[in-house]
Amino acid sequence: MVLGYHRENLRAAVSGARQWAFLAASAVAFAGLLIGFRWLQFGLDTSPYAGATLALELQERVFAKSDLQIGRLVASAIVFGFLFVGITRFWVPLRAGLGWLLLPLGQHSLYAYTAHIALALALPLVTERMHLTVSQSPNLSALVQVSSLALIWLAIRFRLLYPTGEMRRWSMLAPVPLAVFMLVTVAREPVPTLVGPAPEAAPASSDATRLARVFGTPVTRQLLQSAAASAPPAPATVPERKVAPSSTPLRAPAVSLHIPSSAGATVNPSSFASAIQARIEGSFLELSFHSAVLDREMSYYAYLPPHYGAAAQHYSVLYMLHGASGSKDEWPSYGLVETVDRLISRAEISPVVVVLPQGDDGYWVNQANNGPRWGDYVTQDVISSVDGTFRTFADADHRAVGGLSMGGAGALQLALNHPNLFRSVGAHSPSLHVDDDTFPILGTGFEFATREPMKLAADAPGIDGLDIWMDAGEQDPWLERDTLLHETLAERGIPHHWSVLEGGHEGPYWQHNLETYVRFYDASLARLGSPGRDAGWSNAGDIPFR
């Protein structure tokens, strides 16, 4: 607004011979931003395990929208400066060619801004019903952006909801219905309610502690205070590796997979899976299938251990669930696949199939009020597809489920409701809730009791046969609730592991503890007797495993 007020002075400052010099300099800087952005996307896609420090610096200080960094201000100045000088210099031909589009939008910019907010709020309601994930499809995202711009332009041309002279004073109340619409929209979204102590400031983290933050569970991380987000990392259980983008030709999957026609699953080409495939000895595939429960096409990643195709051996299966606003890419982004592959190659754990299903923001639960049945989707459709596609032991003793944040709560809910399907469950920073009607998908009363791990831990039968692992960071906003779940299990005498480790509810915490998680699942699935002792960890005085 300030720059717009002084636009005449700005035009004079870049007129004449200076105009060409400024245009050339801003064009070079703008091109540099585009190249940097594209390089960043390539680097994060081909090196999701850790990434390069430079890429993370560029992401956090120039392109990230969560904090107002000086780099973002500079980038904005470059973009708007380039556009201002370019449009000023070439306005005559631009007006002849695009004036029909640009002039209505520019002359009604406040209306256009208000309309774009309404569209942004309405979009999740539409995409949810159409089962679309816009953020994961660049082409679909571009189509939505162009369509939104066209709708705003048409609304301006036809003066939709424009105030007339006699109605102008009433138009001042327009923000009220917009605010109500926003509150209703936000209330429909399954955003975790922060329960527990407020985050406390912690010392600034080093470059190494921020390696995975760009891949964190976005909704959760945005709700946390920035001070808590910079908490120091958990002890480096997994040796830290920095993997720069590789120019090595991508390897094909190590297994020539024949999928039975009865399985109903197909292998999809995936640049993300191919990038990981280039760095492992086993195989990493993306598969899609039709979910009868959800009545839509769904997908999952599957890791197959080295030599999967060499012998008719059967394998245990580890299902790992992602967090809120995450995707099946989340666990691979922290290095889960490479960690499992490395430990198998060193003969430190038994070969295992790892499955990473897509779960959107469904909380991995059969939602109340006849909502989507994300729980049955896992226990019926995903497990059936995996057992029908791969050589697995199709029994509970060879099946484990785990997850982070929303996925941690979902894993607990699935295992506690279905102890006949799983041998072990891992809840890493589970986001748990209270029965206060603030989380509609879990319902209230009896509905809540069948969906929330806290209630299930207190009352669910037959769970003493599960190997249960729980952990949370010292700065985790759900720590108080997670601790209460541990105490509930302890009061029932249910064997379990509980750890409070250094760190917060963020990527570095889960990444640094990956190897410990993997060793727990391996020890449980291999039936080593006492996973807590045999895998070399302590239960910190809590009730030990059998």
Question: What does the pLDDT read at residue 341?
Answer: 97
Amino acid at 1: M
CA dist 327 and 406 (Å) reads 11
Question: What does the pLDDT read at residue 398?
Answer: 96
Query: In the numeric block, which tokens belong to residue 330?
Result: 């989340």
Question: What does the pLDDT read at residue 305?
Answer: 96
List C-alpha distances in Å: 142 to 34, 134, 146, 182, 416.
16, 9, 6, 23, 42
Question: What does the pLDDT read at residue 195?
Answer: 36
Across-strand partners of 470? 427, 498
430-457 per-position pLDDT tens digit = 999 887 777 788 888 888 888 889 989 9
| Residue 186 CA from chain centroid, whole number | 18
List C-alpha distances in Å: 161 to 12, 126, 168, 346.
38, 21, 11, 67
CA dist 445 and 139 (Å) reads 43
Of the candidates 126, 412, 403, 131, the one whose C-alpha atom is nearest the C-alpha of residue 294 is 131
Residue 372: partners with Cβ closer than 8 Å, 6 or more residues away? 294, 362, 366
Residue 121: partners with Cβ closer than 8 Å, 6 or more residues away? 181, 182, 185
List C-alpha distances in Å: 281 to 82, 234, 342, 355.
48, 28, 8, 17
What is the model's pTM? Answer: 0.60
Domains of the chain plus CATH, in order, are 2-188 (no CATH), 285-534 (3.40.50.1820)
Query: In the numeric block, which tokens belong to residue 265?
Result: 């699953």
**Is residue 326 within 8 Å of 153, Cβ to Cβ?**
no
* DSSP of 33-84: HHHHHHHHHHHHHH--SS--HHHHHHIIIII-SSS--HHHHHHHHHHHHHHH
Residue 470: partners with Cβ closer than 8 Å, 6 or more residues away? 408, 412, 426, 427, 428, 430, 482, 485, 486, 496, 497, 498, 499
CA dist 396 and 317 (Å) reads 10
Q: What is the mean pLDDT of the chain?
A: 77
Of the candidates 427, 57, 476, 50, the one whose C-alpha atom is nearest the C-alpha of residue 231 is 476
CA dist 81 and 15 (Å) reads 13
**Which residue positions in the chain have pLDDT lower than 70?**
1-4, 40-57, 59-60, 64-68, 127-138, 161-175, 178-179, 181-263, 527-546
List C-alpha distances in Å: 501 to 123, 224, 325, 505.
39, 18, 24, 11
Sheet with 424-428, strands from edge to edge, namely: 265-268, 283-291, 296-304, 352-357, 316-321, 399-404, 424-428, 467-473, 497-501
